[in-house]
Amino acid sequence: MRAYDYFAQTGGDNPWGGLGNANRPAQVVFDESKKVLRPERTWNYVVGYRYDSRFFSASADFYHTDYYNRLASITEGSANNANNAYLNVGRETMNGADVLATIRPIAGLEITNSFSWNNAEYQSRSINYSGENYNIKGKHQVYYPKFMYKANLNYTYKRAMFNFNVNYIGSRPMTYMNDESIPAYWLANLNLAYNFGKIGFTQNMKATFGITNLFDKNYIGGVYGSASVTGDDNANLFVASPRQFFGTVSAEF
């Protein structure tokens, strides 16, 4: 197996773009990587319980995953001059739990709450990157929140529907040393709908109205790019959309 040449790998129109540079040709990068990269493997198990009745539903589970030869995509440098590499960061353990409960106290009303916990930690005491050793043991997995929560209220009465939901996403580390993070945030949405039924020659004339980011929160909605080891200066963070209003009218003929 042989890497493509420098010009092919630095082009922007092929899957190998960006692997090499003028100072470290792609073949050098390939030769160095094949000495330390090993197939990533996992061992997992999950146990859980589910209950369902007319008025109440619930589920709970616990899971565990062991990663071996965890392959990490690492970036350094500014966004317009980034260097990318894959690094074997050793072992990672993940413990997590999910809990969900739904109650239906009256006809048409359904209230759901769900909570997720995930503790994913690297176990390597020494990884070498750019000539320096870093101890990442106990550091949380990059770009992954430790806590998530969602509440959903849905009510249907005859032809009308009302839905309100709230989501919480915990903070997410941006670096393997966990010295930079994306802040946690709450997000709420509201949806209304009404089915007018048959009007003239149309069937199921329906109007919907929705508001996303109901309380107009300012938060980071997305991140693009690999994480750096420490002091991230490369990640592209995207501010989420402000409060938005949507409305539709639909019918069947």
Q: How many domains does the chain have?
A: 2
The answer on 94 and 28 residing in a single domain is no
- Residues with Cβ within 8 Å of 160's Cβ and at least 6 positions away in sequence, in order, are 192, 193, 194, 195
What mean pLDDT is reported for the chain?
85
Looking at residue 24, what is its pLDDT?
63
Q: How far is CA 246 from CA 195, 202, 220, in A?
A: 17, 23, 22
Query: In the structure, what pLDDT confidence band is assigned to residue 78 with cuts at 50, 70 and 90?
Result: low
The answer on 212 and 128 residing in a single domain is yes
Full residue range of the structural domain in which residue 10 is found:
1-36
Q: Within a 10 A sphere around the Cβ of 235, how many other Cβ atoms? A: 21
Coil, strand, or helix at residue 28? helix
Looking at residue 79, what is its pLDDT?
62
Residue 29 has pLDDT above 80, yes or no: no
Residue 196 has pLDDT above 80, yes or no: yes
User: Model-level pTM?
Assistant: 0.79
- The CATH number given to whatever domain includes residue 172 is 2.40.170.20
The answer on 159 and 100 residing in a single domain is yes
Q: Tokens at residue 40, please?
A: 């990533």
The answer on 139 and 71 residing in a single domain is yes
Residue 170 has pLDDT above 90, yes or no: yes
The answer on 198 and 228 residing in a single domain is yes
Token pair 């409960």: residue: 101
**Better-predicted residue by pLDDT, 10 or 140:** 140
The answer on 54 and 125 residing in a single domain is yes
The answer on 223 and 101 residing in a single domain is yes
The answer on 147 and 71 residing in a single domain is yes
Query: In the structure, what pLDDT confidence band is assigned to residue 125 with cuts at 50, 70 and 90?
Result: confident
The answer to whether residues 136 and 177 touch, using CB atoms and an 8 Å cutoff, is yes
Sign of the CA dihedral with 120 first, then 124, 129, and 133 last: positive
The answer on 126 and 200 residing in a single domain is yes
The answer on 187 and 91 residing in a single domain is yes
Looking at residue 200, what is its pLDDT?
83
The answer to whether residues 8 and 19 touch, using CB atoms and an 8 Å cutoff, is no
The answer on 89 and 54 residing in a single domain is yes
Residue 135 has pLDDT above 70, yes or no: yes
> How far is it, in rounded angstroms, from Cα 245 to Cα 210?
6
The answer on 167 and 198 residing in a single domain is yes
Query: In the structure, what pLDDT confidence band is assigned to residue 147 with cuts at 50, 70 and 90?
Result: very high
Coil, strand, or helix at residue 126? coil
